[in-house]
Amino acid sequence: MPGKWEAVIGLEVHARLLTSTKIFCGCSPAFGAPPNTHVCPICLGYPGSLPVLNRKAVELAVRMGLATDCEVHPRSVFARKNYFYPDLPKGYQISQFDRPIATNGRIGDVRIRRIHMEEDAGKLMHHGDGSLVDLNRAGTPLVEIVTEPDLANADDAVAYLTRLRQVLMYTGACDGNMEEGSLRCDANVSVRREGEELGTRTETKNLNSFRYVGRAIEHEIERQIAVLERGGKIDQETRLYDVATGETRVMRSKEEAHDYRYFPDPDLLTLDVEPSQIEEIRRALPELPAPRAARYQRDFGLSVKDAEALVVTKALAEYYEAVAAEAANAKAAANWVRNEVLRVLNEEKVELEEYRVTPSMLARLIKLIDSGAIGGKSAKEIFDDMSQSGEAPETIVERKGLSQISDPSAIREAAERVITANAAQVEQYRGGKQQVFGFLVGQLMKETRGKAKAELANAVLRELLDR
């Protein structure tokens, strides 16, 4: 009996670094400008122009290396990767090859083999029977983050990418915008029978959404298994994912790495970063999502799910922590932020930064509940009102008359009115008919228009009836 099929996956992610200029020149790397307006002799690859390395890009790459537990190397080297393509005017791409800036890291259980810096190429746009080239993107700073083949299925791959994207955004290295191509993924996939050697892999290029990554991997696994079961063999090749059909197809057979004839770029010095600078960058790193979620579980007693949902972005985590601190109730804060705040943001397509309900407003609402000033049902109503009107919770309580009566004397007065008005039932109760008590509580709630605090209403009524 042959063993079961299993898949082996390794990912290569290109992330655009958030700098204000390109990696080797002063042009803007902003997305979406009219074609060929952000170009100069350096990024157009004119002979004789000299690249000058962007310091900020280096700092961001170091940050990513540290944030993924890599060894960051004080010396790395830029090489020329030679190939011809119309979007690459120099005829080579400047990239790090055998001496990348960072190696041997991890995100969770997924090992990161290397992180290297490189420049992006331009972009081809196909129009009818011709093609146009936009070189705005040429020279945009990238890091390429390469994993070991540690992933076993599409879901694991997407989970890794989700975490990687969070780290990129937390560190400020990348804006994570997949629609604009700030994050692109190549998926290497092979299959084998359990316990066998690694199979031959294919590489599916330029997947620009998590959904496409997942689907391309699933399709590729199925396709490879079908080929092998038919007695065929897998060719090491580069494939494209076709969004329309959900299938991958051949783009080109794989060039060997040495075809690129890498050699150190003679126009650039070795990249040297002082170990003290690396340490400085390490000290300035923000608390990252994984340790932050662990802290929420440990210190606030949150569930894994709650904790993970709250650290998805730095802004959300900061919002949550501000609510929890002011409300002095971390669990209630977690429930409100996860269930209500995220729901409204999602429904109304607003960003947290523009959201009307500030952390302090939500915290004060939670305090009103915890102190018994308002009931749970009113709280939801007040929250929705805050989301719409942007008014303070206290103002809304006043305006809507939602304050729950927790003043014993007010309840006592109401209870006395109920007793006078329901003499017959009071008589029955005092004669031993306990069930009538529920009716009298109902009358008291009616008298207070539902705003009496339930325990207090019960206690006051009993006291008056039993005396």
Cβ-proximal residues to 387 (8 Å cutoff; 6+ apart), any chain: 344, 348, 355, 356, 357
x/- contact string, 7-26, with ligand ADP (CB under 6 A)? -xxxxx--------------
Residue 172 to residue 24: CA distance in whole angstroms: 20
Residue 105 to residue 113: CA distance in whole angstroms: 7
Write down the least CB distance from residue 25 to Zn ion, Å: 3
When asked if residue 218 is in the footprint of ligand ADP (CB under 6 A), the reply is no
Report yes or no: 447 and 461 within 8 Å, Cβ to Cβ.
Answer: no
Residue 34 to residue 50: CA distance in whole angstroms: 25
Quote the strand ranges of 254-344, DSSP E. Answer: 263-264, 271-272
Write down the least CB distance from residue 91 to ligand ADP, Å: 20
- Cβ distance to ligand ADP smaller for residue 95 or 387: 95
Among 27, 62, 368, 436, which residue sits at the site for Zn ion (rule: CB under 5 A)? 27
The number of beta carbons lying within 10 Å of the beta carbon of residue 256 is 7
Determine the size of the site formed for ligand ADP (CB under 6 A): 16
Among 15, 23, 25, 79, which residue sits at the site for Zn ion (rule: CB under 5 A)? 25
When asked if residue 405 is in the footprint of Zn ion (CB under 5 A), the reply is no
Report yes or no: 18 and 175 within 8 Å, Cβ to Cβ.
Answer: yes
In 3D space, the residue among 311, 313, 275 whose CA is nearest the CA of residue 296 turns out to be 311
**What's phi and psi for 377, nearest 5 deg?**
-70, -40
When asked if residue 17 is in the footprint of Zn ion (CB under 5 A), the reply is no
- Cβ distance to ligand ADP smaller for residue 121 or 361: 121
Could you tell me the CA-to-CA distances from 423 to 38, 357, 452, 465 in Å, in that order? 87, 48, 21, 11
Q: Which of Zn ion, ligand ADP, none lies near 185, with the C-beta cut-off 5 to 8 A by kind?
A: none
Q: Which of ligand ADP, Zn ion, none lies near 148, with the C-beta cut-off 5 to 8 A by kind?
A: ligand ADP
In 3D space, the residue among 397, 376, 371 whose CA is nearest the CA of residue 386 turns out to be 397
Cβ-proximal residues to 127 (8 Å cutoff; 6+ apart), any chain: none
Report yes or no: 210 and 162 within 8 Å, Cβ to Cβ.
Answer: yes
Q: Which of ligand ADP, Zn ion, none lies near 208, with the C-beta cut-off 5 to 8 A by kind?
A: none
When asked if residue 198 is in the footprint of ligand ADP (CB under 6 A), the reply is yes
When asked if residue 327 is in the footprint of Zn ion (CB under 5 A), the reply is no
Among 66, 146, 278, 386, which residue sits at the site for ligand ADP (rule: CB under 6 A)? 146
Among 148, 218, 381, 416, which residue sits at the site for ligand ADP (rule: CB under 6 A)? 148
Residue 387 to residue 340: CA distance in whole angstroms: 10
When asked if residue 40 is in the footprint of Zn ion (CB under 5 A), the reply is yes
Write down the least CB distance from residue 136 to Zn ion, Å: 9
Among 139, 149, 214, 359, which residue sits at the site for ligand ADP (rule: CB under 6 A)? 149
Write down the least CB distance from residue 85 to ligand ADP, Å: 17
SS3 call for 453: coil
Q: Which two tokens stand for residue 326?
A: 């002011």
When asked if residue 53 is in the footprint of Zn ion (CB under 5 A), the reply is no
When asked if residue 6 is in the footprint of ligand ADP (CB under 6 A), the reply is no
When asked if residue 140 is in the footprint of ligand ADP (CB under 6 A), the reply is no
Give contact residues for Zn ion (rule: CB under 5 A).
Answer: 25, 27, 40, 42-43
Give contact residues for ligand ADP (rule: CB under 6 A).
Answer: 8-12, 146-149, 188-190, 198-199, 201, 257
